[in-house]
Structures are given as structure tokens and as C-alpha cells.
Amino acid sequence: MSHVPVKSALISVYHKENLEPLLEILSNNNVTIYSTGGTRKFIEESGLEVKTVEGLTGYPSIFGGRVKTLHPNIMGGILYRRSEANDVMQAGEYDIPSIDLVVVDLYPFSATLSSGASHEEIIEKIDIGGISLIRAAAKNYNDVLIVSSMSQYDEALKILSENNCNTSIEQRKKFAAYAFSISSQYDTEIFNYFNTEAQLPHFKKSFSTATTLRYGENPHQEGVFYGNLEEMFNQLHGKAISYNNLVDIDAAVALMEEFAEDTVFSILKHTNACGVATADTIKEAYQKAFEADTVSAFGGVLISNVEVNKEAALEINKLFFEILIAPGFGNEALEILKSKKNRILLVQSQGLSARLQFKSILNGVIQQERDVETESPEQFSEVTKRKPTADETIAMVFANKIVKHTKSNAIVLARNGQMIGSGVGQTSRVDAVKQAISKARAFGFDVTDAVMASDAFFPFADSAEIAFNEGVRAIVQPGGSVRDMDTVKFCDEHDMTMVFTGKRHFKH
């Protein structure tokens, strides 16, 4: 029998918002309602008839509420198979009533964890009875409808209203899928909390919010984003965000997190910065970033770490770009930038909080900690005879932050708070140096007295030699090559300064 009537319901929820309409449709159809604790009181105060779970089990809520519904009269009423004669006989023998609808949610474990609560408080928010009821009802979807979250109330109400409290097998199976999604995520959250100490070698991630994208990296690929963008951004204008947009946005936000104090503007293309600059005003910072590569900026992703004002918006509006991210937009700036209907304008309200990164590879998953190390001047090892000047040190810190977020093999040239050239994703470090110099020349920059940053060590002195011949006199790199001293010797012989950071920043 695919359609079954709901004659009895067990309702026990932590979140009671918007529960009343569901209660009313059940009451109007003479459904027997069982409940306990706060939910029972809520139903009574709504003026509806409700029977106590304690009256059904013969036991009160015990152990501080830890045990309320774990009883054969409850679990049996949910789990017994109405189509199995032996199950029906046993239910009658032990006077176990059928329960056709279960409306149960879970204690807010994740919210409690995020609130900074104590370990004891967190443990008490691990739901036992609720998760058991949800799994039991979902397992027996042939006979029982499970509503496992307040987000499902409207859909459940529509089904029950349109069918006089009868449900189909397809509907019950769909709600069972909802239930197992919720239970699996809940268990994942609990496991990951315990595993911060246990460090078991198991990979478990779960996301309950999903956005279907227009397509993946290419139009013939399907794409989905799992996560809640609205927690990080408020989209003020523009088209739906695409897969490639998301990847670029992530790269832009990660880069900008390196710059907390100065006014900085960056332009990215395919996750690599093609322009980064700092200045006294956001307009000037944008102009300097744009000058670094006026070609690649076309169709790029832009990000500012301060509010975009009218003066900056007038300049930025001259460029065709995909996305602009900022902590805010002035009213006049917003009106100017909205002139192109597809432009995506995002107000960023949160930074990147995930500690780990992971991706699928070789039929499995690799995971690593995010690279959150950024070297300060105090961590620089001055390995050459000539020591860096104050201006060179500032420029090296600036360039080193950018090269960290550039695809390997990577080189960045910078001077006076402006990236003037970059070598990106090259198969040799020499090629990356040559590309950075070539890009700088192409956009009218003299490389003389620029600093050069490298994401990894120089295996030979040739990169330093190429840079010297173009006028570079200061280098920042991780060090660590067996031939480090060859590069140090070259720098000493040519009055160059070089510092080692001790940290490599590969990015693939």
C-alpha cells in the first residue's frame, strides 16, 4: 500500500518556530499527537489536545532529560512493519500503538560549538533520542513520514493539507533522504569535534547547503557549490556566480587577507594577481594595480580592502570586469558600478575561516592545512654582505605576500607598494623570472631597483644573474637549495642584497 493515512504523530522539537500550522492540520484531521517536555507544553498552550510520551512509556523523563523516548512503545510504534503479519501481531500483543508521523529535530550541536561553550555544554547538545527517532522513522519510510527539520515544515504541511493527512511512498522516501542527510551531517560534526584530539586518519566532511551552478569549469561540465555564500557575502548586483567565479573569489579573498593595515587593491585573473598596489586612497591603489597589467585586467576579479567611494568607482567603471569585492560601497559608487547589469558586486562580511583545504584526486581526497604563514622582516635571514634598506625591506614583504598566492613556479617584481611584473605557473624558475621581467617591460616599467620575490628557492645562481642584469638589487626567497651559496656568492660579488624567509610557498 503506497498511500497511508497519518493517524498518530510523535512531535518533539528543539526549534518550535512555525510549528503551529502543522499542529493545526493534524488536529483538524483528528490525528493523535504524542509529545513530551517543552514541546508538549507548547502544544497545550496552543489550545490543542496532546498525549504525554510518559503516559505511553510508563516512565518519566530521567537522567536530566537524557532518556525520554528510548522505549519499545515508542521505537516499536515507529519501526514495526504494517505489512508484516508477525510485526502487527507483536504490536498488538505488547499494546504498542502505531506512530505514522514523527516530527523531531536535533539539539543544536554545531551552534553550541560555535558559541564557544564549554566541553560539558557541548556534550549535552549531542542528541541521542532525537537521532534515534529520526533514523528509525526514516528506515521505516514504507509506513512512516519523518519530518526532521523546521526547514521541512512548509513542504510537509503542503503534502498533509492537499491529501487529508495521507502520504505517498514517494513523499515518505524523499523525507527519509532528508532525514539521513541531517543525521549524517550531525554525526560528522560530532566526529570532527572529537577528532581534533583523537586525530584518527578519517576524512569526513558534510555540507547541508548547496547551490546548483550554471555549469562547472566548462559548459559541458555540471557544477555545484556546497556551502553558504550568504554567510560571507551580500551580493548587491549582477548575474549568478559561476564555478570559475567562485574559484577566483576564493583566491582574491585569500590574497587580500595578507593586507590588513594599508589601503590595497588587487586585480586577479584565473586565480593569479595581475595587479596589486597600496596607496593613500583606494582610487590611487586601483590605478596602480591596473597599470601593472592593463591587458589581463579585462574581465578580471577585483577586490578592495576598504570601502569603494565615488572617486574610485568612476575609474573602476571604465574597465570591463566580472566581479568587485569590497567591505562596502558608498551610495554614489554603487549607482555608478551598477551601470552594467551583469557585474557582480559583493560586500564581504567574513573572512576565510576553514583551517583545512581538500580536493578530490586519484579516486580519493588529499587534505592539508591552509598556508597561513606569512613572513615578517623579523623572520628574514640576511645572507648577503649588503643588508636591505628600509624601503627594500618593505617592498620585499609586499612582494613576498603576493608571490605566496601565485601559481608555481612564481616570481613577483615590486617597487613602492606596486607589483610591476609577475612570472606565473612556469615549468622553470628561470622562465618565471624572464616572464616577470617581460611583463614589466610590456607595461612600461623600468625594473631598476625593483625587488624580486620567489615562492621557492633558486636551484642555481642564474635567476639572480638575470635579475641583476635588469637592475634588480634585492631578492627575497625561501632558501634551502644545496647551491644556495652559489646564489649568495653572486649577490655579494654584484652588491645585491638577498634574504631567506625559511618558508616555501608552492601553490598548485
Q: Please list the active-site residues.
A: 139, 270
The cell 608571490 sits on which residue?
403
| Selection from 344, 390, 396, 353 nearest residue 114 by Cα | 353
Q: Please check whether residue 56 is in contact with residue 32, taking contact to mean a CB–CB distance below 8 angstroms.
A: no
Question: From CA 106, how far away is CA 4, in angstroms rounded?
Answer: 26
From the number of C-beta atoms within 10 Å of its C-beta (0-12, 13-18, 19+), residue 477 rates as buried
Q: What cell was used for 75?
A: 521505537
CA torsion sign for 108, 110, 114, 119 is: positive
Question: From CA 365, how far away is CA 299, in angstroms rounded?
Answer: 32
- The dihedral region occupied by 271, where left means phi > 0, alpha psi between -120 and 50, and beta the remainder, is left
Give the contacts of 483 (CB within 8 A, at least 6 positions apart): 458, 459, 460, 461
- Edge-first strand order for the sheet with 101-104 is 51-52, 32-35, 8-12, 101-104, 145-147
Could you give the residue ranges of the DSSP H alpha helices within 264-309? Answer: 282-291
Torsion of the alpha carbons at 134, 140, 143 and 146, rounded to the nearest 10? 20
